[in-house]
Amino acid sequence: MSPLAPFTRLPLAAKLSVLLLAALTAALGLLLWPHWRQNPDLSHGYFMPVIFLLLLRESRTGTLRFLGTDRSPRIDHPAQSRRGGSVEWVALTSQLACLTVGLLALAAGGLYAASLGWSHDLVGFTLTFAFVLFLAAGLLVFSSASNRFIPFNWSAVTAIALWLLCAPIPPGTYSRLTLGLQLMVTENVLRSLHLLGIAAVRHGNILELGSASVGIEEACSGVRSLISCVFAGLLFSASLVRRPWSRVLLIGLSAPLALVMNFIRSLTLTLLANSGVKIEGFWHDLTGFAVLGVTAALLVGLALLLERKTGGQPSAVGAQPPAQTSTARPLSARLLVSGLALAAVLVLFFYANTRPALHRDAPVPDLAAILPPAAEGWQVETARDLYQFSGVLHTDHLAQRTYTRMTDHGPEQIILYLAYWRPGQASVSLVSSHTPDACWPGSGWAAVPVADPRVIHTVGHRRLAEAESRSFLSGDFPQNVWYWHLYDGRPITQQGTSSPAALLRLAWQYGFRHDGDQLFVRVSSNRPWADLAHEPVLETFFARLQPLGL
């Protein structure tokens, strides 16, 4: 018999490691809380801190849930499955690998935070990944024969793995996943409608029925139910079943079950719309909650059925095999506390150096006054719906006017756009990540190669700062784009955010401290710059921008 040790009997290094992991858990919870609150796909994250503690308690005092079969000798620690002097180094090497990769991921997450902002999805995912690796390193130490604080069993492993399903998905991955699911659901609903004898035509993710149009939006793609059901499958595998094959079956069925139930929901809503029922609001929300509830109930029922078929009485937690001759040395505990201390220092460093600026009350320029409200020979239209982009751009200071006219050569169009960020409101890289070449392709514009992506133009008789030049095409309609990014009253050169080196340069030069305001200026037209250079509307526009640094 070898009972588990209470916290009070742990070595000092192990105690400090537990406290540091608790602090990192609290910090991660604070970081992810806005994502859980704002992203319906992650609303199950509200329960994660409680579930994490309950699963750790289950691993210590509840039903034994081995990583292998119940009939095989129990393995509380990976090192116990081997013999000889190399055993300790196997566990130590695994722990060192988790700490090393975790620290690298933490440094990358801090770099992304300095460049893109702490609220960015990529930051949340990267830091959660680092945290999971730190927990894995901690489990290797706490489950060793010299500590015996947390057993190395399925409940403990699941408690760690579930954190990844509570983190935001990186934007690129999320977009590809939702688009793929949207098209898959739309296509299958269309086939089902045809089998039922209902006429329907598909346009992308839109279904045109005889009396209504139904769009399979991102919220209906199934991502929410997919993530929630996989989360539930893992949770139930660690709390309701004991056999490994039962766990595999439960987890393996959770994703297909979520997709099938979401398809049933989409088909039901489409049939209701075809019958003349308004599916917005009540029916949309009711079917969404019903799908999640029914799917969870089916998983619970399956788990109970599988557990009933296994039979047998659960083993007592205290029934332990004799301790192996090889035990983890205190080096592993000291290594863990050192790695976690370094992680805490990195978190404090990045947080301290990305704190908001002190001068937040600087006057905001009147963007609407910069855009000429009228121009001779031009029809002027002011955009009224830019507020919809405020959440993505992290600013409410947006303005845009469109100038159009007919000429002998056809229609001419000029669009003038401004966005402003107060000091500390956003990092340079966050602003840089929302340039036309990053955002326009997602709204139907195809990028066209340009001879020189950086050009110096003149307007009237004044030479402007170097501009970024892009070209796009939507159908047969071209759009030439020129834009400038000003930081603290001076134009800066755009740098990509795809490589760590570029992120480091941005963070080091502009990202830390955030004590400069930012202005984004964009001019777009279906005509080349040479045709616009002497237009009074542009001369007025850039004359008003000159005091701001352009």
Residue 400 has pLDDT above 90, yes or no: yes
How many Å apart are CA 511 and CA 429, to the nearest integer? 7
| Domain extent at residue 328 | 8-168+324-354
What's the chain's average pLDDT?
81
pLDDT of residue 72: 40
Q: Does 493 share its domain with 348?
A: no
Number of domains in the chain: 3
CA angle 423, 425, 430 (to 5 degrees): 115
Q: Does 304 share its domain with 348?
A: no
Place 105 in a pLDDT band, splitting at 50, 70 and 90: very high
Q: Does 199 share its domain with 342?
A: no
Q: Does 181 share its domain with 156?
A: no
Q: Does 266 share its domain with 149?
A: no
| 1 occurs within a structural domain | no
Q: Does 466 share its domain with 530?
A: yes
Q: Does 526 share its domain with 382?
A: yes
Q: What is the dihedral of CA 285, 286, 292, 297, to 10 degrees?
A: 170
pLDDT of residue 47: 93
| 362 occurs within a structural domain | no
Least confident of 233-242, 306-315, 386-395: 306-315
What CATH number does the domain containing 544 carry? 3.40.1000
Least confident of 287-291, 333-337, 345-349, 419-423: 287-291
Q: Does 96 share its domain with 114?
A: yes
| 346 occurs within a structural domain | yes
| 283 occurs within a structural domain | yes
DSSP 509: I
Task: Specify the higher pLDDT residue, 151 or 359.
Answer: 151
Give the global pTM. 0.69
Which residues have CB under 8 Å from 9's CB, separation 6+?
none
| 137 occurs within a structural domain | yes
Place 532 in a pLDDT band, splitting at 50, 70 and 90: confident
Q: Does 116 share its domain with 225?
A: no
Each residue's pLDDT tens digit, 74-93: 444 555 544 444 656 777 88
- The secondary structure of 81-128 as a DSSP string is GS-STHHHHHHHHHHHHHHHHHHHHHHHHHHHHHHH-TT-HHHHHHHH
Tell me what the mean pLDDT of segment 197-223 comes to: 72
| 227 occurs within a structural domain | yes
Each residue's pLDDT tens digit, 26-70: 999 999 998 898 788 888 899 999 999 999 998 888 666 656 544
Each residue's pLDDT tens digit, 303-362: 888 878 665 444 444 444 444 434 445 788 889 999 999 999 999 988 877 755 544 566
Which residues have CB under 8 Å from 231's CB, separation 6+?
44, 162, 165, 166
Q: Does 471 share its domain with 419?
A: yes
Q: Does 152 share its domain with 36?
A: yes
- Partners of 458 in the beta sheet? 463
Identify the top-confidence range among 74-83, 156-165, 378-387.
156-165
Q: Does 144 share its domain with 220?
A: no
